[in-house]
Amino acid sequence: MHLVLRILIGGLLISGIPSVGRAALITFTHEGSGSGTLDGISFNNANFRILATGDTTNRQEFGEEFGQGFSISHDSASIEINNVGNFTFTIPTRTFVSNSISVVGFSLGGGIFGSDLYNGPSNSVFNSWDMFSSIGPISGSTELLQWTFSDLNTNNGLLVFDDQSTTGVFTATTVAVPESQTILGAATAISFGTAFKRKLSKKQNKDELKA
């Protein structure tokens, strides 16, 4: 088989293989209440819900200095604040779990070093959660913090929560990538490779006849 063809088919097949098993879309929900401002307009003790989506194939592991844990950067994230509105974050964000201290949270993106923004709840089930499966809803004590450390921009202006201890709920829901998509991708790669090989063979035959 031609070297280019082998590389092409191999790359396509390998890219499809991780979709079987652990590859999944994941939705995170962080709920709580707090006070703050949006585009300079204040709100007080308003219930909020952060809804974010990601892909488990993008999971990152903490470095040793942070203890055992993982994070997933969001493909999209929005927040609904009661009597204020629903807004989309325009800066990178992520959800994390610290297995070492049994807590989850919402933070700025940018690798594993983004500032924590909403920590909690804490629960022993997070000791072993690897972010590859659904979990929750789990309720408990939570904390809003560090929203003034960076500009938390939304599509409707700057969002700032006051530092505050509160209570909240965390839920994560995974949806596995359908195996049919992986099989289809592999079949497409093989079909494309076969057609490419035939075309290459015809070209070689023509070249030989000309010679």
Domain-wise residue ranges, the chain? 23-176
Compute φ and ψ for 6, nearest 5 degrees.
-60, -45
The residue ranges of DSSP E strands in the chain, in sequence order, are 24-38, 41-55, 60-61, 69-81, 85-88, 93-98, 103-108, 116-122, 135-144, 153-154, 157-161, 164-176
Q: What pLDDT was estimated at residue 120?
A: 97
Which two structure tokens, joined as six digits, stand for 140? 């408990």
Query: Which parts of the chain register pLDDT below 50?
Result: 3-21, 182-183, 186, 189, 192, 196
> What is the rounded distance in angstroms from the CA atom of residue 138 to the CA atom of residue 2?
55
Which two structure tokens, joined as six digits, stand for 29? 């929900």
Q: What is the DSSP letter of 46?
A: E
Which two structure tokens, joined as six digits, stand for 35? 């006070």
Q: What pLDDT was estimated at residue 177?
A: 75
Q: What pLDDT was estimated at residue 176?
A: 87
Is residue 140 within 8 A of residue 120, CB to CB? The reply is yes
For the segment 32-88, what is each residue's pLDDT rounded down to a tens digit? 999 999 999 999 999 999 999 999 999 999 877 778 999 999 999 999 999 999 999
Q: What pLDDT was estimated at residue 202?
A: 57
The residue ranges of DSSP E strands in 64-163, in sequence order, are 69-81, 85-88, 93-98, 103-108, 116-122, 135-144, 153-154, 157-161
Is residue 43 within 8 A of residue 36, CB to CB? The reply is yes
Q: What pLDDT was estimated at residue 199?
A: 55
Q: What is the DSSP letter of 54?
A: E
